[in-house]
Homo-oligomer: A and B are copies of this chain.
Amino acid sequence: MSNLYDSAYDLEKAIRESNEYKELKSLFDQVNSDPSAKGMFENFRNLQMNLQQKQMTGQEITPEEVEQAQKTVALVQQHSTISKLMEAEQRMSMAIADLNKIIMKPLEDLYGSPQQ
């Protein structure tokens, strides 16, 4: 068990030291230290979360909301630091997905393929 935790802490450290994380953190800090960029990004995040929640709970999304979302996306994409941050987030989340696939392999070996 202790080896399990040791290995997890090693991976945590490797994530912190990875280029993906360093870039993400640097861009995140840049955006958050600029009040106008921060506000724009938070606005975008809230809108996104709001729409996702509606989608998951089967609530209707109005044409006005779609339009507002498109406008907000277009706006944040024009902001170069925010758009770099969003790309860094995507790279980080792809790396995390890769890591999860590796780590979950032992359980997938048991439960994954029904024909086993």
Residue ranges of A at the interface with B (Cβ–Cβ < 8 Å):
1, 3-21, 24-25, 28, 58, 92, 95-96, 98-99, 102-103, 105-107, 110
A12 adjacent to B105 (CB under 8 Å): yes
Query: How far, in angstroms, from A5 to B11 measured CA to CA in the complex?
Result: 9
Copies of chain A in the complex: 2
- Chain B residues, Cβ within 8 Å of A11: 4, 7-8, 10-11, 102-103
- Chain A interface secondary structure, helix, strand, loop or mixed? helix
Query: How far, in angstroms, from A7 to B11 measured CA to CA in the complex?
Result: 5
- Chain B residues, Cβ within 8 Å of A95: 1, 4
Query: How far, in angstroms, from A96 to B103 measured CA to CA in the complex?
Result: 9
Task: Identify the closest chain B residue to A56 (Cβ).
Answer: B56
B3 adjacent to A17 (CB under 8 Å): yes
Query: How far, in angstroms, from A70 to B99 measured CA to CA in the complex?
Result: 37
